[in-house]
A and B are shown apart, each in its own frame.
Chain A
Amino acid sequence: MASHAIAMDDLQYKEVAGQRLLGFLFFLISDCVIFGSFIFVYLYDRHASPVWPPAGAERPDVYLAAVNSIVLFGSGATMHYAMEAIRHANTRRFTAFTVATIILGLMFLSGQAYEYTHLHDTWAGNLFGASFFTLTGMHGFHVFVGVIFLITVLIQTLRGTYTPHRHFGLTAATLYWHFVDVIWVALFFLFYVY
């Protein structure tokens, strides 16, 4: 009887987790639309402008951005390993990889802050500066929120909230972090390569 009750609970949890996952994916898609709108505006401005970047605008350092990108992409890999660790009930390994992800996320934000303080462009200066600071700033805010999200799920895991079979919060945090990584691939290409 008791095992039947537990089995039902697991089944219900699986169903609810499936619905929550779908809801979370819709949230990520809506976030994609927001970034997509700003990227469209940037591309429109860029193609409408006779010279790009506009006169007086300075292109940011591509190598510094490349290092910063690898720091963020690396955090995506560590977060994936953290997720795998919790699936194998290895809390110690999960903690190590999540802490590594948080540190890499903070390193990325520090790199971005360094870039902002050393760039001669300003938000109000020209179209390039306005687009650059708006999009990378919005992305930086997402990374900041992601770091808070990861700290929260790390505390919850250490308190025993998640198990190898019940960890929707961790799935959501991992997907959010991957999303933040992937958005940066697009921004890196647009502002530093294209």
Chain B
Amino acid sequence: MHAPEIERIIAFIGAIVVATAALTSLRAEWKKTHLDDQVTKIMLVLLTVGCVLVILVTLHVLGRVPGES
């Protein structure tokens, strides 16, 4: 297996793990109303968006496959 393929698999698995952790934390934070909790919620949502982005890249839905021009 080539290095890019290994990187792709690691990124895919890592993204699912981190997205799950972020969504679980978001669920736990959901009812908190303090200002820093609200900011944390926004940050966790954006973190999940980042993970989805990585999943889409590893599934070749977004971005360019290395080696392609």
Q: Are B46's CB and A185's CB within 8 A?
A: yes
The segment from A39-47, A59-67, A146-154 found at the interface with B is A59-67
Residue in A61, A62, A73, A81 whose beta carbon sits within 8 Å of that of B51 in the complex = A73
| Residue numbers in A under 8 Å from B4 (CB-CB) | 61, 63
Between A22, A25, A189, the greatest number of chain B beta carbons within 10 A of the residue's beta carbon is seen for A189
Q: Are A67's CB and B50's CB within 8 A?
A: no
Q: Are B46's CB and A64's CB within 8 A?
A: no
| Distance of B64 from chain A, by nearest CB (Å) | 7
For A, the interface residue count at a CB cutoff of 8 angstroms equals 34
CA distance A185 to B44 in the complex (A): 12
The answer to whether A184 has its CB under 8 Å from any CB of chain B is: yes
CA distance A157 to B67 in the complex (A): 48
| Residue numbers in A under 8 Å from B21 (CB-CB) | 74, 77
Known: A73-B18, A77-B21. A63 touches B58 (CB 8 A): yes
Q: Are B63's CB and A192's CB within 8 A?
A: yes
CA distance A184 to B47 in the complex (A): 9
Q: Are B57's CB and A62's CB within 8 A?
A: yes
| Residue numbers in B under 8 Å from A184 (CB-CB) | 50
Q: Are B39's CB and A25's CB within 8 A?
A: yes
CA distance A161 to B14 in the complex (A): 34
The answer to whether A48 has its CB under 8 Å from any CB of chain B is: no
The answer to whether A121 has its CB under 8 Å from any CB of chain B is: no
Q: Are A66's CB and B8's CB within 8 A?
A: yes
| Distance of B58 from chain A, by nearest CB (Å) | 6
Q: Are B53's CB and A185's CB within 8 A?
A: yes
The answer to whether A179 has its CB under 8 Å from any CB of chain B is: yes
Going nearest first, the 7 A-B pairs with the smallest beta carbon separation are A178-B43, A70-B14, A66-B11, A185-B50, A63-B7, A77-B21, A193-B63
Chain B residues close to A by CB (< 8 Å): 4, 7-8, 10-11, 14-15, 17-18, 21-22, 25, 28, 35-36, 39-40, 43-44, 46-47, 49-51, 53-54, 57-58, 62-66
Sample (12) of A-B pairs whose CB atoms are under 8 Å apart: A62-B63, A62-B66, A63-B58, A66-B57, A70-B18, A70-B51, A73-B22, A73-B51, A74-B14, A81-B25, A182-B50, A193-B53
Inter-chain pairs besides A62-B66, A80-B44, A175-B39, 16 sampled, C-beta below 8 Å = A25-B35, A62-B57, A62-B63, A63-B8, A64-B7, A66-B15, A69-B11, A69-B50, A74-B17, A80-B40, A174-B40, A175-B36, A181-B47, A181-B50, A192-B57, A193-B63
